[in-house]
Structure formats: structure tokens, C-alpha cells
């Protein structure tokens, strides 16, 4: 069953280099000019697609991941500057790789490129999958924990490079809500087009009027442990939540059954 997951978080110099973050997510070897350091993650497995998408009137050499993120680093002056934001998406296992790739591209093209953001997309198959760019797994259903990392530049960009001023509206709750809703809508449109009955929602159970406690996101590392029957703290919490939800559902069914009996008398 497809599950909705979208996480947005900043990437700042106090945490990591943008060049290093891009190298890790893409599984590439990149040189950070500011730190004069090479980040080499070419041995990283499970990366099944990477690409950079740019707005119009952007320096064409920004298609080069190393040039893009070094330029983003050079545009920031403060030691604690935020250099990028990252969006992580769970991809539906019910879709093929090509369909999921198209879905992520459309999400980026609709929500971020028109704002003037550059987007660095990396799709991972999840752990326990020794996949690389040369393997022919792309037409099969995505395995394990398919997800996408989208690194977005934090400044608008033009012909001459990054602008001097940032756009503070990009941090607004309004945009956050729009992006979350857009990702849900695009998935559901794809499910309908593919003839699948499943649907996802970006809204909480409370907002949808569903009396159900949400489980917590495990992430690829904990999911890999759970698949190997290694119990984790979050996994135990989710099992307790699922047990409470099952008990609550059973009580609701019993109450409904009782009401039907009373109405039939």
C-alpha cells in the first residue's frame, strides 16, 4: 500500500558542505573549492538515478553538479549560512522506476523550477539493494524503500548566477502546504492514470476525521534492520501503535454492530 511521506529540511554550513551533501546523495566524487576537500562516495550503492534540473536563463554549466554546488557555496558569506534545502520523498512501490522518475520530475518542474530554484534529484532504491547506474532494474517495480532526495538551491538564479538577495517567502508555511498537497495530488493523478485504486493524502488523520494514531517514519536504516527481524525502538513503538489502532477499530466495529442490532429491534 502506498504511503505518503514528504520531509523538508535545511542544509547549512554548521551541518555539512553542500558539495559534500550532493556527493553523498549522488554517489559521486566532487571537489569542494571552499573547503579544498574531495568528497568521494563512488562506492555508495543503491543509487538508481541522478539529474539536475534548472530554471530558464540559468548558466548552462550549472548542469554540472560540482559547479552548481560550488557556486551555491560561493554565494554565501556567513559561516552559518543555509546553502540548500532538501526534500525527501517516499516513492510508491506500485509504480515502475520510469513512472516514478517522471513523477518526481513533474513535482520539481511544477513546484520549484518556476520559483527560480535549481534542483538536484537523486533517486535511491533503499538499503539491501546493490544497484548502480549500469544495472537494468529500471523497468521493474522499485524495491525495498524507494525514495528521492531533492536538493534545492536557497537563492534565486539568473543568467549571471545566484542573486544577491534570498526570497524569504520560500520559507513560508504557505509554500510548505502547497508543496505537500502538490506531491499528494500528482501521485493520485498517476494512480488514476495507471488504473490503480490506491490513494494518498497529505492531510493528517485528525483533519480527515479519521480516529487513528499515525505510525512514525522509520527511514531506510531502521527499515533494513526490521526486515532482518532486528527489533528497533521506533519499530516497537509502531507495533504498539498498530495494536492500539487495531483494538480501537475492533471496538468501533463492535459498537456499530450493537447499533445495528438495536435498530433492527
Mean pLDDT of 125-149: 57
Which of the residue ranges 17-26, 117-126, 235-244, 255-264 would you say has the lowest mean pLDDT? Answer: 255-264
39/48 Cα distance (integer angstroms): 20
Which of the residue ranges 89-103, 134-148, 168-182, 240-254 would you say has the lowest mean pLDDT? Answer: 134-148
Examine the pLDDT at 3 and tell me if it is beyond 60: yes
Rounded to the nearest angstrom, the gap between the alpha carbon of residue 222 and the centroid of all alpha carbons in its chain is 17
CA distances from 88 to 105, 238, 256 (A): 13, 21, 40
Mean pLDDT of 157-183: 92
Domain boundaries, the chain: 6-193, 219-264
Residue 204 confidence class, pLDDT cut points 50, 70, 90 = low
Please classify residue 169 by burial: count the beta carbons closer than 10 Å to its beta carbon, then call 0-12 exposed, 13-18 middle and 19+ buried. exposed
SS3 218: coil
Q: Which three cell numbers stand for residue 56?
A: 530558464
Q: 147: which strand partners? A: 90, 124
Mean pLDDT of 98-119: 96
Q: What confidence score (pLDDT) does residue 225 get?
A: 78
Angle (nearest 5°) at CA 203 between 119 and 2? 70
* Answer CATH for 6-193 from 3.90.550.10, 3.30.930.30, 3.90.1150.10, 1.10.10.2840: 3.30.930.30
H or E element that contains 29: strand 29-32
Mean pLDDT of 203-225: 66
pLDDT digits (tens, 9 = 90+) for 229-257: 888 888 888 888 888 877 776 776 666 66
Tell which wins on pLDDT, 158 or 67: 67
Residue 64 confidence class, pLDDT cut points 50, 70, 90 = very high
Q: Give the chain's end-to-end CA distance (angstroms, integer).
A: 40
Amino acid at each position: 500500500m502506498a504511503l505518503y511521506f514528504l520531509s523538508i529540511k535545511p542544509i547549512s554550513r554548521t551541518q555539512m558542505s553542500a558539495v559534500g551533501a550532493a556527493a553523498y546523495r549522488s554517489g559521486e566524487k566532487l571537489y569542494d573549492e571552499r573547503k579544498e576537500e574531495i568528497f568521494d562516495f563512488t562506492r555508495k550503492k543503491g543509487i538508481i538515478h541522478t539529474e539536475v534540473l534548472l530554471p530558464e536563463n540559468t548558466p548552462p554549466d550549472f548542469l554540472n553538479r560540482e559547479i552548481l554546488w560550488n557556486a551555491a557555496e560561493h554565494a554565501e558569506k556567513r559561516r552559518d549560512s543555509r546553502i540548500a534545502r532538501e526534500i525527501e520523498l517516499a516513492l510508491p512501490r506500485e509504480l515502475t522506476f520510469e513512472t516514478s522518475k517522471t513523477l518526481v520530475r513533474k513535482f520539481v518542474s511544477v513546484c520549484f523550477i518556476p520559483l527560480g530554484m535549481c534542483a538536484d534529484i537523486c533517486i535511491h532504491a533503499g538499503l539491501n539493494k546493490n544497484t548502480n547506474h549500469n544495472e537494468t532494474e529500471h523497468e521493474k517495480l522499485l524495491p525495498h524503500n524507494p525514495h528521492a532526495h531533492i536538493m534545492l538551491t536557497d537563492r534565486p538564479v539568473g543568467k549571471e548566477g545566484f542573486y544577491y538577495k534570498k526570497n524569504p517567502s520560500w520559507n513560508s508555511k504557505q509554500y510548505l502546504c502547497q508543496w505537500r498537497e502538490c506531491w499528494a495530488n500528482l501521485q493520485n493523478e498517476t494512480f488514476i492514470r495507471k488504473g490503480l485504486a490506491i490513494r494518498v493524502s497529505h492531510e493528517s488523520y485528525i483533519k480527515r476525521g479519521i480516529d487513528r494514531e499515525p505510525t512514525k517514519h522509520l527511514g531506510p536504516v531502521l527499515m533494513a534492520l526490521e526486515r532482518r527481524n532486528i527489533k528497533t525502538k521506533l519499530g516497537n513503538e509502531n507495533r504498539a501503535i498498530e495494536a492500539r489502532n487495531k483494538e480501537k477499530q475492533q471496538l468501533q466495529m463492535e459498537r456499530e454492530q450493537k447499533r445495528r442490532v438495536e435498530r433492527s429491534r
